[in-house]
Amino acid sequence: MLILLPILAIICAPALWLVLGRPRFLAKVGSDEEATIKVSVVIPARDEEINIGALLDSLNAQTRPAHEVIVVDDGSSDRTAEIAREKGARVISGKELPDGWNGKPWACTQGAEAATGDWYLFLDADTRLAPDALSKLVGAAWRNGGAVSVCPHHQVEQPYEELSVFFNVMMLAGVNAFGFCEEEACALFGQCLLISAEDYELVGGHESVKGKVLENFYLADQLSRCGVARECYVGLRAVWMRMFPEGFDQLYSSWMKGFAAGAGHAAARAIVFSSIWLTGAMLAMVGLFIAPFVGVTCAALCVTTYLLYVGQCLWVFRLAGSFSQWNAWLFPISLLFYQWTFFSALRAHKQGRKVKWKGREVG
CA separation for the pair 270, 276 (Å, rounded): 10
| Burial class (CB within 10 angstroms; exposed 0-12, middle 13-18, buried 19+) of 202 | middle
Beta strands 153-154 and 90-93 are unpaired
- For residues 101 and 211, the answer to whether their CB atoms sit within 8 Å is yes
Delineate the domains of the chain, giving CATH numbers in brackets: 4-19+267-352 (no CATH), 22-247 (3.90.550.10)
pLDDT computed for residue 124 by the predictor: 96
List Cβ neighbours of 268 (8 Å cut-off, separation of 6 or more). none
- How many Å is the Cα radius of gyration of the chain? 21
CA separation for the pair 277, 170 (Å, rounded): 11
pLDDT computed for residue 363 by the predictor: 55
- For residues 59 and 41, the answer to whether their CB atoms sit within 8 Å is yes
Whether this model's pTM surpasses 0.85? yes
Alpha-carbon torsion (340, 345, 351, 353), positive or negative? positive
- pLDDT per residue rounded down to tens, the chain (363 residues): 788 999 999 999 999 999 999 999 998 766 555 667 899 999 999 999 999 999 999 999 999 999 999 999 998 999 999 999 999 999 999 999 898 898 899 999 999 999 999 999 999 999 999 999 999 999 999 888 889 999 999 999 999 999 999 999 999 998 999 987 655 568 899 999 999 999 999 999 999 998 887 788 889 989 989 989 999 999 999 999 998 888 999 898 888 877 655 555 667 888 899 999 999 999 999 999 999 999 999 999 999 999 999 999 999 999 999 999 999 999 999 999 999 998 888 777 676 666 555 555 555
pLDDT computed for residue 14 by the predictor: 97
Helix locations, the chain, DSSP H:
4-12, 15-20, 52-60, 80-86, 103-114, 133-144, 165-174, 197-202, 215-225, 248-260, 268-290, 296-320, 325-329, 331-350
pLDDT computed for residue 204 by the predictor: 94
CA separation for the pair 167, 358 (Å, rounded): 20
- For residues 233 and 140, the answer to whether their CB atoms sit within 8 Å is yes
